[in-house]
Structure 1
């Protein structure tokens, strides 16, 4: 960094331009000041900011000028950094420091204000005599580059408007002062004080200046006259100068003209370079400063006395900025806006900046009686024109979260101690027993110092012991982290490490797994016995405390942990209990993995109202599902649509099910109709929608076959304390029938991603009114009735069996293999099939597809292992840099060539091949007997469907137990030949080979909606 002496000897100098000469000659203390405010969250160190300002002033010497005659000369003195009012809640635009002049009695031309408090901000102030708004933005961007330790861009050009513009073809016409002020008359003789009002409007709006002009024009009583400042750098885009390089273009808007015509006219004027001619007469440089100061003072006095100005308003658009460029490691910018003051005789000013998905509007005018009320009404009018209230007003009233689930659980245990809380193959638990066991777990955790904000892993099968463990973690005051026992140890260890979990509760069958990393203590659930202490007390848990953390696939190559607070969980439980009809008679099966947040519906809803949780009798397959539906009398089912479709294939007619909640993926109308036929017309089928980031579900819709006629069932409307907004690509609210991305809000939003503030900022954003929302990435539309319909994804994310999959995470795992340099993963369909498969394409040094699939299987869940791996020389890209899918080879071409000879197939093998064909969408004559089921794209749910069909159509009910007893053989060797052999033996009454069904080989329900 240059020393003070070096800066003092700086030689930067440039001529004073005509417009700068005029502005500098304003009455003393009244030279207009340009102010750009950067608001954010976090903190900025004053000393580091001062160092950055000093470094940026070396790169942008136009920030430290003094006038000597008709030249600006570098003083070598960097702008000062001053601390403004902080901590008292005063908005930035109300700070008294903003009223202070610059370039006053030899004072500095630029300075920086640092505003502390809950909403910190940095305000860059520059005299308009040396700088325009474009110059301030160049300077501010370099200050933040210096704060981040990045190279500075600098602005050392010495050009002025005289250098940029062609010679005048005719003498400029002086502006006429004939237009009354929009906000009313000023009081002569009152001190000069500027009023700023700020308004954030959602979205970016094409033709913004034209839209503003046409919104204001009706207030002008006829043709409206505006001044539009134009950045003259457009004539030399490579120019890097902080000088005042903007001129105002006079612009008339006829009464009644729409914004499109206004926008076209403005573009035409710019194309014709009208702004080059509409400029200050260079002869102004010949007028001595004292005389020009007198002229400007007289101009200002006349404007106030007669209430006449050169235009109705000045409309300035500073452009679109990226707030990331104005952020640091400790400070995240959330908004940037302008706070300018008017020149002598200048009209009302309206400045606009586009940033962070919003249009920041600032209205400035001289303060006085009634002015603020009129300015507010004008901003209301403009906001309504840009973003109608009917589109941005949520349909539900939001109340802050105020409770947790813990008091209700403790009260229920005390009220119905002898009622069954959990029933399952490993034993039943009454509410008294569940209460005791969960408190034992909680006591053990507390003894290890575990409490609020700690995260405790739970690695257990779907058992009563696991249910007690999860409630025990919650009752300790900590948050539980459910782990899927079917996931590889590498992934589980990574999740525990990322979550910073100090303890992991492990069920004995998984005690020897290498899933618990160093630094995380393993506690065996089976050894937590005894009685809770007599002085047990529930934790003082509040709605803002962490309840659980669930990991989902990550687009950055690693999974991300979603943090859900107690208030969010309690809100979901309240409305879902009512809407699903959960009460003391409810018997709700646990049909998903604990690591899939739909499991929370079963873990919490029935246990808070005296109902029961049903645990399936063994691993999920058509046999256990049939037994569950016909023998266990469930009343409410929640599951993925994929599992519901499998259940609909069962030849049963359950009579006890009152409500079905389908969640996690698209619910097709055909499946909903099948469910009504199977469970009866009195059963309600509900489509429940919600990403993990919104606490299980945040929209709901009851299927009506008479009105829901589209292929996909609508995802519904937001319930209590939840909101849904649809915004287009420019972040503007859209109307009914229009397509946009779904943003959800309300008290059920997650706190964010654990340890990932950058990702949290990207996905959890704020609307212009400050409402926090989550960008779902789902493309939807809203019907005239206000019901949301899902259409597609806005990104590459796919769903497999309800599991969210980010292909980038799979690609990253592939690229970790030493033979792979680059990888891409896409979801593609086999010709003639609607079933989506994960297909990988890799570039590298002789990679082996089978080895790569095995490599991924050691690191990621089974449902994330690509069905195909294709080696390519390169990954073709479109002009936008995306993978060119059309240029990639078909991964299925030749993959299912016909076997050499099918004539030897017996009746059983042909029947099995036909079932595979129907399940996988492959021609049976092109299926070889030794083809692997998974290599054809089969997943765990499709395997269960295939096995169920074989039992139904080939084996028969009598031999089904023998066939199912050998399911492990099929899992280990999933080929047509093996399935046919097992089916043939079962049908003939063959014996069950000893040890043929190892537990870890059986497909578990954890893979169905994990």
Structure 2
């Protein structure tokens, strides 16, 4: 009989060895040992590990023939699908680093990301490439059937080569590209001790490729011989997620904190189907964590914390019911990360005291692409602790080493899982000719809804229209950086030290109040308005009330769509939702769906005069 300690030692050795290689080697290893095991499925396509490796190698050969060389930075623009995973692997086997792009981002944002990353080529879906109008060279990727087999050029990337460039919000008005190494991702996901992922698991991929959560979703599966289940719906509803999990037998999922809170508040059936749920992006609400643990006691609930600069997660905590008596902790460093709580003199704080969290260890990013000054500012060589990343987060350590989160040392905020520098939005507002000054803060009309609120001081001349300013921001900033509300004020409130008083701004940001309705609501419009009012945190009384004008955003749209489904038995797709985002428009969609359902159930029902 094999000694259990020997097995443990073998596992540790395997983890260390794999962490010293590139990500394609992980797939090659499983393709050799379990070639017929499922690797990726997206509803239309299924790939075993052998098929995944073969498809990626053939595409890598094609990319090499088209001029892609080791050390190149190549942008990838594709809809989320099994082919996305193939394309990432192919870029790496060709020796390039991958710069994921989001089709939903406005052109100026995409152009800035391409410039800052140093990408020499953009590859991907032909229709998306044409629609995006990306600057520089582009290459539409051929279908798998068009690729002949050839030997993969080169040996693939090493652990210190760049795997991804992921962009985060920048306080100077320009996004920052974080260069993440292959070895750092491999160490994060190979035989993880902080979460259960085995070869029998299926992990859900539903995050955008530009969000570092997608790194965990794909590679926690492929590093461990599990399968990636790709949700191809661009904006999946709560019900879409549940159906995807149920259809493919998903066992592991990552949710942003805001999405987790909404699912938990509804006791979503998605939790009845999952074994492991990883949550990250913002502070986890204790009441929602407790609700899930008590309603679904088999769920392994993991609270993850970490900036992109530390490769997705730096600390994790497996949440139990007792943790929910107070703020849920962010846990201990894991998978090669280290944590250090320092004071303003960069010295360790006293036991239990609050200080700034600095992260070290083997999973730190290389730095910011083409931003050496910023890299030197945030990635510091500490005289005794080695290379550290300064997070700007305030934490304290319990006697057992578990960390508690206490907020920020600066103005950075987290909204719906996105790290946001208000300065980036303020910079974009100050660029408008009608704006003299601007400030951005976060408002919470309900405990589970955080939204960006902007305040501008008008320049001399005509007072700017809030809707016009927001429309211009939409053309330059991604959706998560566009404020939900914009208010013109005479001046910005200041603290005694002369800085913008963001607490006072939050007090100014009151919910939009409906004024006298121009016409009464129909019963169906009233039902829609009631759902809106609950979700938006303000009374909605007009049929022409606009969801976006009242502070609605994509996550609240999911909430409203789910409540309409529960209250009225009608499912609205998010494209339809945003095509007609008024009370009257939604009521018309609901009416049409109800009539269609009635006709389907009663085929002999009388039709209207047009024959419908």
Query: How does the TM-score come out when normalised to structure 2?
Result: 0.89
Pick from 870, 878, 881 the counterpart of residue 487 of structure 2: 870
The residue that corresponds to 2:319 in the other structure is: 703
Pick from 647, 663, 667 the counterpart of residue 284 of structure 2: 667
Q: Which moved more, 1:874-883 or 1:781-790?
A: 874-883
The residue that corresponds to 1:744 in the other structure is: 359
Q: Secondary structure at the match of 1:936?
A: coil
Deviation of 1:654 after TM superposition, in Å, equals 5.3
Q: Secondary structure at the match of 2:198?
A: coil
Deviation of 1:485 after TM superposition, in Å, equals 1.5
CA distance in 1 between counterparts of 2:248 and 2:482 reads 35
The residue that corresponds to 1:815 in the other structure is: 430
Could you tell me whether the CA contact under 8 Å between 2:511 and 2:537 is conserved in 1? no
Q: How do 1:322-471 residues align onto structure 2 when only pairs under 5 Å count? A: 402-471=20-89
Deviation of 1:870 after TM superposition, in Å, equals 2.0
The 1:631–1:402 alpha-carbon spacing in structure 2 relative to 1, beyond 3 Å, is: closer
Pick from 221, 243, 246 the counterpart of residue 627 of structure 1: 243
The residue that corresponds to 2:451 in the other structure is: 837
Deviation of 1:837 after TM superposition, in Å, equals 2.1
Q: Secondary structure at the match of 1:511?
A: helix
Deviation of 1:842 after TM superposition, in Å, equals 2.1
Mapped pair 1:964 → 2:580: no
1:65-104 C-alpha deviation (Å, 9 max, x unpaired): xxxxxxxxxxxxxxxxxxxxxxxxxxxxxxxxxxxxxxxx
1:232-279 C-alpha deviation (Å, 9 max, x unpaired): xxxxxxxxxxxxxxxxxxxxxxxxxxxxxxxxxxxxxxxxxxxxxxxx
Mapped pair 1:682 → 2:289: no
1:433-462 C-alpha deviation (Å, 9 max, x unpaired): 211221122223322443333211111111
Mapped pair 1:981 → 2:588: yes
CA distance in 1 between counterparts of 2:522 and 2:268 reads 27
The residue that corresponds to 2:10 in the other structure is: none
CA distance in 1 between counterparts of 2:143 and 2:137 reads 14
Q: Secondary structure at the match of 2:592?
A: helix
Q: Flag the structure with more relative contact order, 1 or 2, with Cα contacts below 8 A and sequence separation at least 6.
A: 2
CA distance in 2 between counterparts of 1:744 and 1:489 reads 34
Query: How does the TM-score come out when normalised to structure 1?
Result: 0.55
CA distance in 2 between counterparts of 1:683 and 1:594 reads 26
Could you tell me whether the CA contact under 8 Å between 1:622 and 1:944 is conserved in 2? yes
Deviation of 1:854 after TM superposition, in Å, equals 0.5
The residue that corresponds to 2:389 in the other structure is: 774
CA distance in 1 between counterparts of 2:516 and 2:382 reads 59
CA distance in 2 between counterparts of 1:546 and 1:889 reads 40
Deviation of 1:880 after TM superposition, in Å, equals 2.5
Mapped pair 1:475 → 2:93: yes
The 1:887–1:594 alpha-carbon spacing in structure 2 relative to 1, beyond 3 Å, is: closer
Could you tell me whether the CA contact under 8 Å between 1:622 and 1:650 is conserved in 2? no
Could you tell me whether the CA contact under 8 Å between 1:827 and 1:839 is conserved in 2? yes
The residue that corresponds to 1:948 in the other structure is: 562
Where does structure 1 lack aligned partners over 5 or more consecutive residues? 1-398, 993-1010
Deviation of 1:677 after TM superposition, in Å, equals 4.0
The residue that corresponds to 2:203 in the other structure is: 588
Mapped pair 1:722 → 2:340: no
Could you tell me whether the CA contact under 8 Å between 2:191 and 2:224 is conserved in 1? no
Q: CA RMSD in A?
A: 2.5
Q: Secondary structure at the match of 1:492?
A: helix
Could you tell me whether the CA contact under 8 Å between 1:554 and 1:809 is conserved in 2? yes
CA distance in 2 between counterparts of 1:663 and 1:888 reads 27
CA distance in 2 between counterparts of 1:607 and 1:824 reads 43
Mapped pair 1:939 → 2:556: no
The residue that corresponds to 1:790 in the other structure is: 405
Could you tell me whether the CA contact under 8 Å between 1:617 and 1:628 is conserved in 2? no
Could you tell me whether the CA contact under 8 Å between 1:436 and 1:532 is conserved in 2? no
CA distance in 2 between counterparts of 1:785 and 1:804 reads 29
The 1:964–1:749 alpha-carbon spacing in structure 2 relative to 1, beyond 3 Å, is: same
The 1:790–1:886 alpha-carbon spacing in structure 2 relative to 1, beyond 3 Å, is: closer
Q: Secondary structure at the match of 1:988?
A: helix
The residue that corresponds to 2:185 in the other structure is: 569
Q: Secondary structure at the match of 1:842?
A: strand
The residue that corresponds to 1:275 in the other structure is: none
Aligned residues: 579
The 1:685–1:652 alpha-carbon spacing in structure 2 relative to 1, beyond 3 Å, is: same
The residue that corresponds to 1:606 in the other structure is: 221
The residue that corresponds to 2:418 in the other structure is: 803
Mapped pair 1:881 → 2:498: yes
Deviation of 1:529 after TM superposition, in Å, equals 4.9
Deviation of 1:512 after TM superposition, in Å, equals 1.6
Q: Which moved more, 1:529-538 or 1:681-690?
A: 529-538
The 1:618–1:542 alpha-carbon spacing in structure 2 relative to 1, beyond 3 Å, is: closer
